[in-house]
């Protein structure tokens, strides 16, 4: 155990990105050094590289609950996986001209929807309830009203951690009306068990850097592999679905991290200890800061995430002070960090703009411990009181 405050910042921003998980770098290193051959090469020397890519594919297939490894396509991360899913759903010329998503999607999904809107699709962002959960009746009404090609929904919200309650039921509702379903599961690996095949979702996206693999690698699960509609036309890699020489070392890292995340997500003891740490942090802050609250608290949330509202103190002011005290967290989606506008997710939940502006997301990593949690709470409370005194 490192003495408090002696090194580096206290990092509670794992939903933004994570460091490499134990063993991942070691798994990758041979593929950055001696095992450099092109996996598509016909040479004998390339065989171990090809095998390593396929081992990683099996690891990711297990993580997401695929039936078989060829349902997995490697990509450059969550954003690409999401865009690829939209492409596979829509590029083959769909008579259904509507895309439905939630109003609490990540900007990657909103961006993919916008791309297809510019190509003539109608895009509808459905409102959610105060916890960020779907109104299922509204979903069904929308699906029944006019033919929808694709529904895209976030599985675990990156800001609140709120989880889509019953993905299988959700997929059934979507399919009943002839639409297909993409699920953004980028924030789910290692935090809840994934069952893409059983849920019958058509596509499911994950991103390595959220669960201990390097940045710039991810995967897309396809219920029905679609070589006829390549996302990137090229050398026929990924069974013709995504051209381009594979990012072998990162793919191997993704496979190694996937195995760990799969074990972790299926370890109820670990998950409840993780949740207890998160709850301890929330409890301490709620007791010490009058009027503090937790977004999405009434819903099921992934165990590592809390989105706290700190009354009267804009995150814009809080964050640099917290960082100065050694605590790194965020005001919401890291991708929105340069814009000091209140979180669109919170506004979609009906949170008043001034409350949304004073909200902080803290997200724990698998190794976060109680000493760190207590330290984080202590820093937060101290900074809040200091600001409040000056008010
Ligand atoms: N979807 C969600 C829910 C995310 O949290 C993120 C990243 O923050 C993404 C998609 C985009 O993933 P990537 O950074 O790998 O492109």
Whether the Cβ atoms of residue 228 and residue 196 lie closer than 8 Å to each other: no
DSSP assignment letter at 203: E
State whether the beta carbon of 158 lies less than 6 angstroms from ligand 1.
yes
207-219 average pLDDT score:
98
Average pLDDT over residues 200-214: 98
Q: Which of 83, 108, 361 to mutate to test the pocket of ligand 1 (most atoms within 8 A of CB)?
A: 108
Same domain, 40 and 180: yes
State how far the alpha carbon of 322 is from the alpha carbons of 75, 115, 289, 353, in Å: 35, 37, 15, 22
DSSP string, 126-151: E-B-TTS-B-HHHHHHHHHHS--SEE
- Same domain as 320, residue 289: yes
Phi (first) and psi of residue 340, to 5 degrees: -90, 50
Query: What's residue 334's pLDDT?
Result: 53
Q: Give, using CA atoms, the residue closest to atom 9 of ligand 1.
A: 78
* 65 and 175 inside one domain: yes
Hey, which of 74, 77, 207, 247 would you mutate to test ligand 1's pocket, going by the most ligand atoms within 8 Å of its Cβ?
A: 207
Q: What pLDDT sits at residue 221?
A: 98
Active-site residue (options: 46, 125, 334, 335): 335
Place of tokens 């002696």: 6
In this structure, the answer to whether residues 39 and 133 fall within a common structural domain is: yes
Tell me which of 229-233, 344-348, 355-359 is least confident.
229-233
Considering the domain architecture, whether residues 46 and 138 belong to the same structural domain is answered as yes
SS3 137: helix
Q: What pLDDT was estimated at residue 338?
A: 63
Which residues, 6+ apart, have CB-to-CB distance to 88 below 8 Å? 203, 222, 226, 229, 231
Q: Are residues 342 and 274 in the same domain?
A: yes
Closest by Cα among 252, 250, 173, 190 to 214:
250
Question: Which of these ranges, 29-38, 54-63, 90-99, 280-289, has the smallest mean pLDDT?
Answer: 90-99
So what's the pLDDT on residue 326? 96
Task: Specify the CATH number for the domain of residue 15.
Answer: 3.90.1150.10
How many whole angstroms from 39 Cα to the centroid of ligand 1? Answer: 27
Note whether 29 and 15 are same-domain residues: no
The CATH number of whichever domain residue 255 belongs to comes to 3.40.640.10
Task: Please count the structural domains in the chain.
Answer: 2
165 shares its domain with 59 = yes
> Which of 265, 299, 332 is a domain's end point?
265
Distance (Å) from CA 186 to ligand 1 centroid: 6
pLDDT at residue 332 in the model: 66
Domain that holds residue 239: 24-265
Q: Are residues 190 and 301 part of one domain?
A: no
The question of whether 335 is a catalytic residue gets the answer yes
Same domain, 182 and 197: yes
Residue of the CA atom closest to atom 10 of ligand 1? 78
Tell me: do 48 and 110 sit in the same domain. Answer: yes
Contact 267, 74 (CB under 8 A): no
Which pair of tokens denotes residue 116?
A: 């297809």
Q: Which of 214, 249, 265 is the last residue of a domain?
A: 265
- Residue 2 DSSP label: P
Q: Mean pLDDT throughout 168-197?
A: 98
- Name 126's bridge partners: 102
pLDDT of residue 6: 45
Share of the chain above pLDDT 70, in %: 95
Q: How far does residue 229's CA lie from ligand 1's centre (Å)? A: 24
Same domain, 191 and 335: no
Q: Which two tokens stand for residue 198?
A: 């059983």
């Amino acid at each position: 155990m490192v003495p408090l405050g002696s090194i580096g910042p206290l990092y509670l921003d794992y939903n933004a990105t994570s460091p490499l998980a134990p063993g991942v770098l070691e798994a990758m290193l041979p593929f950055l050094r001696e095992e450099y051959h092109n996996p598509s090469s016909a040479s004998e020397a390339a065989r171990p590289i090809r095998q390593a890519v396929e081992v990683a594919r099996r690891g990711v297939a297990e993580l997401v609950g695929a039936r078989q490894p060829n349902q997995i396509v490697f990509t450059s991360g969550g954003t690409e996986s999401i865009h690829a899913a939209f492409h596979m759903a829509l590029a083959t010329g769909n008579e259904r001209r509507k895309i439905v998503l939630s109003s609490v999607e990540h900007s990657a999904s909103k961006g993919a929807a916008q791309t297809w809107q510019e190509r003539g699709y109608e895009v509808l962002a459905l409102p959610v309830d105060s916890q960020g959960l779907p109104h299922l009746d509204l979903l069904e009404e929308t699906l029944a009203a006019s033919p929808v090609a694709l529904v895209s929904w976030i599985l675990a919200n990156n800001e609140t951690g709120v989880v889509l309650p019953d993905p299988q039921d959700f997929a059934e509702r979507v399919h009943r009306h002839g639409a297909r379903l993409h699920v953004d599961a980028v924030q789910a690996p290692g935090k809840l068990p994934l069952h893409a095949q059983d849920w019958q979702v058509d596509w499911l996206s994950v991103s390595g850097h959220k669960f201990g693999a390097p940045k710039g690698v991810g995967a897309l699960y396809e219920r029905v592999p679609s070589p006829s509609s390549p996302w990137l036309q090229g050398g026929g890699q990924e069974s013709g679905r995504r051209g381009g020489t594979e990012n072998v070392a990162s793919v191997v890292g993704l496979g190694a991290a996937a195995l760990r995340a799969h074990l972790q997500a299926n370890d109820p003891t670990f998950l409840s200890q993780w949740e207890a740490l998160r709850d301890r942090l929330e409890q301490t802050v709620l007791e010490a800061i009058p009027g503090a609250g937790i977004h999405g608290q009434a819903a099921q949330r992934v165990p590592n995430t809390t989105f706290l509202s700190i009354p009267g103190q804009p995150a814009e002011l809080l964050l640099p002070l917290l960082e100065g005290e050694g605590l790194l967290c965020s005001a919401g989606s890291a991708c929105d960090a340069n814009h000091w506008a209140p979180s669109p997710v919170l506004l979609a939940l009906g949170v008043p703009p001034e409350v949304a502006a004073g909200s902080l997301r803290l997200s724990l990593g698998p190794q976060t411990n109680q000493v760190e949690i207590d330290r984080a709470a202590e820093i937060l409370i101290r900074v809040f009181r200091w600001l409040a005194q000056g008010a």
